[in-house]
Amino acid sequence: MSARDPGSTTTARSWHPLSLSIQLAVLVLAEIALFQTYGAHDARFHWAAHFLVAVATAALVLLAVLLVRGSPGRYPLLLVLALHLFAMAPDLIFRAGAPHALWMDVFLGHISVHYLPGGDTAGLAIALVAVGAYVVALTRWLRATRNPM
């Protein structure tokens, strides 16, 4: 990881407090809407499973970007939302009339994630570990670069 590269202007902009606040607002509002939609069909378990996979995947993607590029990835909170929408795509396909099938695992393990031993609690633990790993790396980078963002 480079301690000299402060990242691009776009990256710095996406980590600005105002940008993070907007991203957080978009993420929270969208997730509340998705939670209510799933909840209306007695499917909160499914919402949580796909959301937690999205959180874990986003953390791993951001960690990889940080390690490879030497600067943080862009729009971290919007990445979580984008990955969540991607992970839940088979549910939209189901709604359009096609049953679930094993090939739908290409959507961040859409089928298999439900069979994770421990269910959503295990998914939560994995997501928190992944986020924790990214935060450790990001914190080290911030300290090494002396606050470039």
Partner 1 sequence: MRWWVPAAATAVLAIVLIGVVIGLVRPPGPLDDPRPAYQRDGILRDGPVLAREVAGVPFGERTVVLLFERDAPTGAEWEEWRQDVSDDGVDLVLVPASVDGASALAAAVGMPVPVDGGPPVGYAVVDPDRQVRYATLDPKYLLNAFEVDVITGAVS
Residue numbers of the site for partner 1 (CB under 8 A)? 15, 17, 35, 40-45, 47-48, 52, 55, 94-95, 97-102, 111, 114-115, 119-121, 123-124, 127-128, 131-132, 135, 138-139, 142-143, 147, 149
Q: What is the DSSP letter of 73?
A: P
Coil, strand, or helix at residue 6? coil
CB of 82 or CB of 140, closer to partner 1: 140
CB of 64 or CB of 101, closer to partner 1: 101
Report, in Å, the least distance between residue 30 CB and partner 1.
Answer: 14
Q: Contact 134/59 with Cβ under 8 angstroms?
A: yes
Coil, strand, or helix at residue 98? coil
Determine the Cα–Cα distance for residues 120 and 73; give it in Å rounded to an integer. Answer: 27
